[in-house]
Structure 1
Amino acid sequence: MSLQTALRFEADTAKNPNLKKAFEAQVERIKYDEVMADRENVVRLELQINQRAGWNENLEVASWKKRIRNEADIVKSEMRMAAKAALAVRRVALKQLFEREFEVWEKELGLQGKTFYKQRI
């Protein structure tokens, strides 16, 4: 510490008005620096809070989009499975229709004394 700084704090400020003014100015600077440091801390904390809030909002949007994408994939797979099931049901119904028509034709041909040609293997 320099001699001037030491004298500024240790000297009798009542006798020397310049030292008193310098001391008061230094006290004011210290108070101002403390206020500014507190304000900077508040700004820094608010910036961190805002960043975290932004990250959370982005995460919510991303998870929402991912959930929609997953649900769309589920719907597509259900539609494919429903189409396969409907195709299987239509095949069974068509097979039953052909069997009933074949029986009707056989009865009609039987009444006429005719039959379908069946090749023996």
Structure 2
Amino acid sequence: MDDYGFGMASVRFICGTQDIHKVLEKKIAKFFDTEDTILYTSCFDANGGLFETILNEKDAIISDSLNHASIIDGIRLCKATRLRYENNNMSDLESNSSKLKIQEQELLLLMVFSQWMDILQN
């Protein structure tokens, strides 16, 4: 709290590079035994780049209808089959997942919806 308060007021390209950014980049580079590391400038950018790099046309993703815009945009950029289920509706999620003919399923759920701070119910 003394050094960083409650956090940055905005993303790195608006608030500038802080010493904590450089420390994190060095630790990540050391962990992966690389020369250097560059962090995404914002979570929006990270979500935009994530799905395209880990999913391809053989994959499928079922997204909550009220996911953050960055997640929705990231999903649109990838080549995976895309389905959407009603917000916080596990029955609809199950119904959508049964439409897919896949051998293995991995499920990633966003547990807290940042826009409204709703918590996933089951």
TM-score band, normalised by shorter chain: under 0.3
| Bigger RCO of structures 1 and 2 (CA < 8 A, at least 6 apart) | 2
Report which of the two has the higher share of strand. 2
TM-score when scaled to structure 1?
0.20
TM-score by length of 2: 0.20
* Greater gyration radius: 1
